[in-house]
């Protein structure tokens, strides 16, 4: 039996995006300053998630140009980065099916948040999972379309 290629937007084998986690003091204006710095460098925020506490905040971002973002962030902010899955939500039931499929494969989802942009008229969700390779195979085998960073341009 022939193996089918993964169902991805451009046919690449390991689709993923890059998530930056920027650490900011939890003070008024810090997020606005970060977003201004990114905008001044022509970096577009495609997705954003904020987790805060009393003293600090973690700003998770998917940006249009990870290489440029890395340079800009390195000069001003403490941050980490990791690959994330970018999954198209083709209908109202897609989100529930994604989590059902991942649960059946025993893949844990650490984070999920939407992108602020659409791809081919589909909403896109960002997923950070504990087993990215397994999640990629399981989702593509269930006909979900995964996007790569190059699809975000």
Q: Cα–Cα distance between 12 and 120 in angstroms, integer?
A: 17
> What pTM was estimated for this model as a whole?
0.86
**pLDDT tens track for 60-98:** 999 999 999 999 999 999 999 999 999 999 999 999 999
Rounded distance between C-alpha atoms, residue 126 and residue 124, angstroms:
7
More confident residue, 9 or 20: 20
More confident of the two residues 118 and 8: 118
Burial of 132 (0-12, 13-18, 19+ CB in 10 A): middle
Q: Which pLDDT belongs to residue 14?
A: 64
User: Which residue ranges form the domains of the chain, and what is each CATH number?
Assistant: 17-82 (3.30.2130.10), 84-152 (3.30.70.260)
């Amino acid at each position: 039996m022939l193996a089918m290629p993964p169902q991805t937007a451009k046919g690449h084998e390991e689709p993923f995006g890059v998530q930056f986690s920027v650490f900011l003091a939890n003070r008024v204006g810090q997020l606005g300053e970060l977003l201004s710095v990114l905008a001044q460098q022509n970096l577009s925020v495609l997705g954003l998630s904020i987790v805060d506490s009393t003293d600090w905040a973690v700003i998770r971002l998917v940006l249009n140009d990870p290489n440029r973002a890395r340079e800009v962030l390195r000069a001003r902010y403490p941050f980490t980065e990791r690959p994330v899955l970018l999954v198209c939500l083709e209908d109202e039931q897609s989100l529930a099916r994604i989590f059902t499929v991942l649960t059946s494969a025993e893949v844990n989802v650490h984070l999920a948040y939407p992108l602020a942009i659409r791809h081919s008229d589909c909403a896109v969700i960002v997923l950070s999972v504990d087993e990215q390779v397994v999640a990629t195979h399981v989702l593509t085998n269930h006909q979900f379309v995964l996007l790569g960073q190059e699809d975000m341009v």
